[in-house]
Amino acid sequence: MGHFLERAAAEFTCSGCDVNPYGLAKTREKVPDVPLTAGSVECIPTDPEVRAIASWDVLEHLPDLDQALDTIRSRLAPGGVLIAVVPVYDGPLGAIVRRLDHDPTHVSKWSRAAWLEKLEMHGFEVVEHGGILRKLLFSRWYLHLTWPQAVLRRAGSALWFVARNPGTR
């Protein structure tokens, strides 16, 4: 809905892409001067290479995640980072998350280890990662708990990570 992009655009040169027309419209209301494109990872600019890509709850929806990760990495400048959040289906809450997740567009329902391994398989260096416990409030807002990481890193319902493009292709 453009909340993150609105904050980021106040400090950085940004662009955005989304497959959801409603989300794009809402984002355009918040950041009318930021270039927005309807589409997926293919819309990430190629010139100049970007220093950071933020992907909140997107990767698990992509039908060809391998191609998407290759595209993302190819668009990142050497040293650039992919910062993302994905749901995870392991740990003590895994069975509950799997049971409550009725989203048919979630095509990658993986464990933390599987996500981190997939990133490394595509040439990313995972710089940092942790856990999030999320709760949907009033069918509209998410409450994100990010502390204590000693527990959430293994038990949270979502994984956040920063993955760097080391600069070699």
pLDDT for residue 40: 93
pLDDT for residue 98: 83
**Phi and psi angles of residue 40, each rounded to the nearest 5 degrees, phi first:** -115, -145
> Cα 157 from chain centroid?
14
Cis status of the peptide bond prior to 35, with omega within 30 of 0: no
pLDDT for residue 99: 84
pLDDT of the chain, 169 residues: tens digit per residue: 889 999 999 999 999 999 999 999 999 999 999 999 999 999 998 877 899 999 999 999 999 999 999 999 999 999 999 999 999 999 887 888 888 888 899 999 999 999 999 999 999 999 999 999 988 788 777 888 999 999 999 989 999 999 999 985 5
pLDDT for residue 93: 79
Q: Record the tokens describing residue 33, joined without a space.
A: 């001067």
Q: Record the tokens describing residue 141, joined without a space.
A: 């807002």
Domains of the chain, each with CATH number or no CATH? 1-39 (no CATH), 50-164 (3.40.50.150)
For 74: left if phi > 0, alpha if psi spans -120 to 50, otherwise beta; the answer is alpha
- Burial environment of residue 34 by CB neighbours within 10 A (0 to 12, 13 to 18, 19 or more): middle
pTM passes above 0.85: yes
> Are β-strands 76-87 and 50-56 bridged in parallel, bridged antiparallel, or unpaired?
parallel
